[in-house]
Structure 1
Amino acid sequence: MPVAKARRSNDWGFPRWRGYGSSREATNVRICDRHSCDEPGDCPAPKAPNSPDRWYFCQKHAAEYNSKWDYFEGLDKAEKEERAKAERQESSGYAEASHYGWAGSGDGSRSADEMRALDVLELEADADFVMIKKAWREKAKTVHPDVKPGDKAAAAEFQKLQLAYEVLKTAEERREWRG
């Protein structure tokens, strides 16, 4: 009976020292659930509120899907406020750590006020301050009290644009100051 010859291992007795990819097994890669997308689908997204079923999208399509997601859909105003308050309390640690500047615009680092201000200016969440200033100037020129004197609706719209710009300008200055 032949004796099996012992092979020497390169891991020195520590299996976690083996190199990544040293195994030969095939790995399962889930493809994005978006029609005609061949990217790996590694970002789960809920199919419906409070449902365990998930879509699996690539990063690009997950961002597209989440941009239209309304977390507060179907709730009345009081319930929305209560849920938002609970969310703020649960995420207070993240809010406290935001001064470290680990996040950039467009990735959840903008406040709800900033997002509303961007909606007033009809801009996307990842708009930089140059785009914000340009959009504000274009819109403010059309409803400025000097252009439309005596027009109450135009004055209200100008005040709304001015407030949105101030919110975004203050946030930008705060980001620049931090880092």
Structure 2
Amino acid sequence: MARSGRSMDWGFPRWRGYEAGRDAQTVKLCDRHGCEEPGNCPAPKSPNNPDRWYFCEKHAAEYNRGWDYFAGLDAEEAAARAASERSTNAGYKTASHYGWGGSGDGSRSKDEINALDVLELEYDVDFAAIKKAWRSKAKEVHPDVKPGDEAAAREFHKLQLAYEVLRAAEERRSWHGHPEG
């Protein structure tokens, strides 16, 4: 009696790939009208709804770009949902003071790098040089020096924010650097 089917693994079943077989595989196509690509990226049809669209990668990106998580909610409900999201994700915020906790160059966060760019400083500069650069730039555009100048006021505000970011980062570094005494 002959075998009805022939295996492609030559007696070694572990050589077979997952779901490898001779039968045609069913492939779900992208739910976007007219697209013939495989739909392997699930996307929710609406918030809190288990139903999903299945898009190709290109159309999933297009769909997600226009997705509004707060669609159909009034301002109060949207604020309540945002607050509950922040409270459940609060554990991630506590680790943001570490250098590896966020994007950046490993020693400084992205916000610190942006602040150094505002002050036109190198990324490896010490805090004394940061303070010196901030003072000299802030003196040039201070509202007392240039009263009524909106552009100077905006520039002064930008310099103040940059300095505050860098000062807070320096305080965190110095606080974490010293052992408890």
Structure with the greater alpha carbon radius of gyration: 2
State the TM-score, normalized to the length of structure 2: 0.45
State the TM-score, normalized to the length of structure 1: 0.45
